[in-house]
Amino acid sequence: MEGLIKERLPRHVAIIMDGNGRWARQKSLNRIEGHIKGIEAVRAVVTSCRELGIKFLTLYAFSIENWRRPGNEISALMGLLQRYLREELDEMLENNIRLKAIGDLDSLPRDAHDMLIETVEKTTHCDAMVLILALSYGGRDEIIRAVRRLIVDAKNKKIRPDQISEETFPNYLSTKDIPDPDLLIRTSGEYRISNFLLWQMAYTEIYVTKTLWPDFRKEDLIKALLNYQRRQRRFGLTSEQLAMEPG
């Protein structure tokens, strides 16, 4: 499999799909054309991850900050989301892919929101891969909302302060039951996190490629995975300690 070591594939890959606007500008097209082209990359990456056996794939599709973009761009993106969901449902079912969504979903337009929830519900039985769409997502927003729920539980005596830990807190996040990302890929050469999965990426390996998102294909994914497999994840330990660990 292209030199990849199957046993050492990341369990969870997260992607900041960036560069649609620049892709369009380079071709003297409207930004929206870049987003339309971006969907082809989404399809290619979902299919490739499923084929490779990656268990969790999170795609940053729309950030909470993206609401500040021009209205016509936001409407186009919401329309594309609906089109994607409509066109991909059968593919997801056929390939046993479960859809999940994270973010402030209530702020999505009603029709996009309803179609999203419907697709999520229709794929709950699928278990070969989980595809997580981050929509109206902000890492800080997610943490704040977790804290709010935690305080309500504490008030209702469902949790005591001494029970709040690095193990229990993630249960209040929208990524509950999803392992932390092992690998973050960001396209279009930008070295920043842009408010993505702040809690979850404490020890995620980061890979940045100059490739713009609409051009990203299986070969680019494989390159990122090969690069990931060459790294030593130390989690604070020394290389010597890791060399002594079994396995």
Q: Which residues are catalytic?
A: 18, 66
Residues with Cβ within 8 Å of residue 8, at least 6 apart in sequence: 229
18 binds Mg ion (CB under 5 A): yes
Stretch that binds ligand IPE, among 2-10, 97-105, 120-128, 187-195 (CB under 6 A): 187-195
Stretch that binds ligand IPE, among 11-19, 162-170, 177-185, 220-228 (CB under 6 A): 11-19
The residues facing 97 across adjacent strands are: 129
39 binds ligand IPE (CB under 6 A): no
Stretch that binds Mg ion, among 12-20, 53-61, 67-75, 113-121 (CB under 5 A): 12-20
Question: Which residue minimizes CB distance to Mg ion?
Answer: 18
88 binds Mg ion (CB under 5 A): no
Among 9, 13, 14, 21, binds ligand IPE (CB under 6 A): 21
Q: How far apart are CA 37 and CA 90, in angstroms?
A: 21
76 binds ligand IPE (CB under 6 A): no
Closest to ligand IPE by CB, 9 vs 45, is 45
For 14, the enclosing helix (H) or strand (E) is strand 12-16
Handedness of CA 65, 66, 72, 75 (dihedral sign): negative
Among 27, 83, 149, 192, binds ligand IPE (CB under 6 A): 192
Least gap, CB of 67 to ligand IPE (angstroms): 10
Residues with Cβ within 8 Å of residue 14, at least 6 apart in sequence: 57, 58, 59, 60, 181, 183, 184, 185, 196, 197, 201, 204
Contact 204, 231 (CB under 8 A): no
